[in-house]
Amino acid sequence: DGSWETNGDFKMYTVKLGDNETNNPDYANWYKMVPYGAPYVDRNNNGVYDQGVDLPGVKDAAQTVFEVMTDMDITAHSPGEGFGGGITNPLLKAEIAWTSWAYTSPGLEDIQFIKWRIINKGTNIWDSTFMGVVTDPDLGEPYDDYIGCDTVLNLGFCYNGDNDDGTGAPPTYGASPPAVGLDYFRGTVKKNTN
């Protein structure tokens, strides 16, 4: 369907409250990603993204980031790729639509939401597929960070080893640094065998 071609439309798109078509090219080009699952507010409730009428992004979010990724660019697979996975053959032909968003609403201002939609665009059935999240939180100065988990809350977390993080100059926190937690609100939902 052409979605595997490498072109400039497939990049990270970011929209914030207050953006419009003239001050943010990602806002103006959001329509290019709607067929791949980019969220929008359907202001006229017609079920179709209408440029200039509907709002790009998650409803009421202060910021929304959207990106579509695939493993189909064979030139991106090399032994030194790190997060790229190195040499991986055969290709899975996976399409991943990633949406992250955050609110400024009281009680939600310190939470970032992330959603992945993973589609098998190939003809092979994926069997015994496992999903997981890898994170390197680096909470301010990374040299005194500790990680842990709470199995009752199903929560992974990172915290500072003492009550002082670096000098306080960016990117460190100084006295009374925060902690960070990661939680799955909903796990994998299987739509069909592909």
- pLDDT tens for 164-181 read 999 999 999 999 999 999
Separation CA 120–CA 133 (nearest Å): 19
Mean pLDDT of 31-58: 97
Greater pLDDT, 137 or 58: 58
Q: Which of 150, 159, 138 is nearest to 184 (CA)?
A: 150
Quote helix, strand, coil % in the chain, to nearest 5.
10, 30, 60
Name residue, tokens 């017609």. 46
Q: Which of 39-53, 87-101, 110-124, 167-181 has the lowest mean pLDDT?
A: 87-101
pLDDT(76) > 80: no
What value does the mean pLDDT of the chain take?
86
What is the model's pLDDT at position 87?
A: 59
Greater pLDDT, 91 or 98: 98
Separation CA 27–CA 52 (nearest Å): 10
What is the model's pLDDT at position 188?
A: 74
What is the model's pLDDT at position 3?
A: 47
Where is 87: in which H helix or E strand? none
pLDDT band at 90 (very low <50, low <70, confident <90, very high): low
pLDDT(34) > 50: yes
What is the model's pLDDT at position 86?
A: 58
Residue 120, phi then psi, degrees to nearest 5:
-80, 105
pLDDT(85) > 60: no
**Cβ(156)–Cβ(132) under 8 Å?**
no
What is the model's pLDDT at position 194?
A: 46
Greater pLDDT, 83 or 59: 59
* b/e per residue 144-156 (b: at least 16 CB within 10 A): ebeeeeeeeeeeb
Preceding peptide of 171 cis, ω within 30°: yes
Burial class (CB in 10 A: 0-12, 13-18, 19+), 101: buried
pLDDT(1) > 50: no
